[in-house]
Amino acid sequence: MIRPVRPEDAEEIAALYRANRQFLAPLEPVHPPAFFTADGQLLRLRRQLERDTRPFAILDDGAIAGTINLFGIVPEGLQSGVIGYWVDRARNRRGLATGAVAEVLAYAFGELELHRIEAATLVDNLPSQRVLEKNRFERIGVARSYLRINGAWRDFVLFQRVAGD
Ligand SMILES: CC(C)(COP(=O)(O)OP(=O)(O)OC[C@H]1O[C@@H](n2cnc3c(N)ncnc32)[C@H](O)[C@@H]1OP(=O)(O)O)[C@@H](O)C(=O)NCCC(=O)NCCS
């Protein structure tokens, strides 16, 4: 269901972001106009790889239906990472996000030998919280003023899943 994002995916991902611009606006930081272009996505991919972020495409019958990123990887000591994900609104409620999170967990705890994966959702983002609950994440608590969304610093609920749980 997931595979690493490739440079040749840039236009398909940009088009998906354009189609979901209004859907994602209340849930994500503000993106500059270039973000919604193939060139912008190509640049983003290069930067992600430089920073050791692992971006994956979520596939639906061969087409890209969303993305899931594993970022903030600390390989030693904490052995931890953070995930962020989204799925095309038109393909919601078909288990794509739940399945993609399960696959990234298997990769993180398996190949990368991480110990702990963290995720954060807006306090009222119940669909995303459900995705995490279904993947046996536990709720840590509310992180006040955690991320700037649509121009305002918003509170988020933090979740974690520990290897072996
Ligand atoms: C949250 C999101 C990733 C869910 O993706 P999805 O592929 O629809 O998720 P799933 O199909 O795996 O569904 C997971 C659960 O959420 C529920 N759900 C999904 N969309 C929902 C909605 N709009 N309202 C209520 N419940 C919803 C599903 O019913 C399912 O629960 P269930 O099995 O108990 O019925 C997707 O809606 C999205 O990308 N939202 C915008 C970006 C975002 O919020 N990203 C996460 C940031 S933390």
Residue 109's domain comprises 2-118
43 within some domain: yes
Question: 27-35 contacts: CB < 8 A, separation 24 or more?
Answer: 27/86, 27/122, 27/125, 27/149, 28/86, 28/149, 28/150, 29/147, 29/148, 29/149, 29/150, 30/148, 30/150, 30/151
pLDDT in tens, the chain (165 residues): 999 999 999 999 999 999 999 999 999 999 999 999 999 999 999 999 999 999 999 999 999 999 999 999 999 999 999 999 999 999 999 999 999 999 999 999 999 999 999 999 999 999 999 999 999 999 999 999 999 998 899 999 999 999 999
Check if the beta carbon of residue 140 is closer than 8 Å to that of residue 159.
yes
CATH of the domain at 95: 3.40.630.30
Residue from 86, 92, 104, 158 to probe ligand 1 pocket by mutation (most atoms less than 8 Å from CB): 92
54 within some domain: yes
44 within some domain: yes
